[in-house]
Amino acid sequence: MEENDHFIEGIYNWCDRWCERCKYTDRCFSFQMDVEDGIDRLNRDISDEKVWEHVGKRLSQALEMLHEMAAEQGIDLDNLPDVEEEPPSERAERLKALCEELHKEYINRTKVFFEENKDYFHEKGHESIRWVEMGISNEEEALAKWQQVSDQAEVIHWYTYFMGVKMRRAIGGLDDMDEEHWGSPGQSDANRTARIVMLAVDRSMAGWQVMLESFPEKESDIVKTLALLARFRRMVEATFPRWAEAGPDVVW
CA 103 to CA 197: how far, in whole Å?
12
Residue 9: which residues within 8 A CB-CB, separation 6 or more?
Answer: 3, 247, 248
Count of residues in contact with ligand SF4, rule CB under 6 A? 12
Q: How many CA atoms lie within 13 A of 80 on its CB side?
A: 9
| Min dist. Cβ of residue 144 to ligand SF4 (A) | 27
- Decide whether 131 or 252 has the Cβ nearer to ligand SF4: 252
| Min dist. Cβ of residue 201 to ligand SF4 (A) | 17
| Min dist. Cβ of residue 248 to ligand SF4 (A) | 8
| Min dist. Cβ of residue 184 to ligand SF4 (A) | 22
| Min dist. Cβ of residue 129 to ligand SF4 (A) | 36
| Min dist. Cβ of residue 250 to ligand SF4 (A) | 8
Binding mask of the shown chain, residues 218 to 247, with x at each position contacting ligand SF4 by CB under 6 A: ------------------------------
- Decide whether 18 or 121 has the Cβ nearer to ligand SF4: 18
As a whole number of angstroms, the longest Cα–Cα distance in the chain is: 78
- Decide whether 95 or 163 has the Cβ nearer to ligand SF4: 163
- Decide whether 193 or 225 has the Cβ nearer to ligand SF4: 193
Residues 7-46 that bind ligand SF4 (CB under 6 A): 11-12, 15, 17-19, 22, 24-25, 28, 30-31
- What secondary structure does DSSP assign to 69-138, as a single string? HHHHTT--GGGPPP-PPPPPPHHHHHHHHHHHHHHHHHHHHHHHHHHHTHHHHHHHHHHHHHHHHTTSS-
| Min dist. Cβ of residue 154 to ligand SF4 (A) | 15
Closest CA to 24 of 49, 7, 39: 7
CA 240 to CA 14: how far, in whole Å?
15
Q: Is the CA virtual torsion 45, 46, 52, 56 positive or negative?
A: negative
Q: Is it true that the peptide bond before 248 is cis, omega within 30 degrees of 0?
A: yes
CA 4 to CA 8: how far, in whole Å?
9
- Decide whether 164 or 248 has the Cβ nearer to ligand SF4: 248
- Decide whether 25 or 117 has the Cβ nearer to ligand SF4: 25
Residues 139-198 that bind ligand SF4 (CB under 6 A): none
What is the binding site for ligand SF4 (CB under 6 A)?
11-12, 15, 17-19, 22, 24-25, 28, 30-31
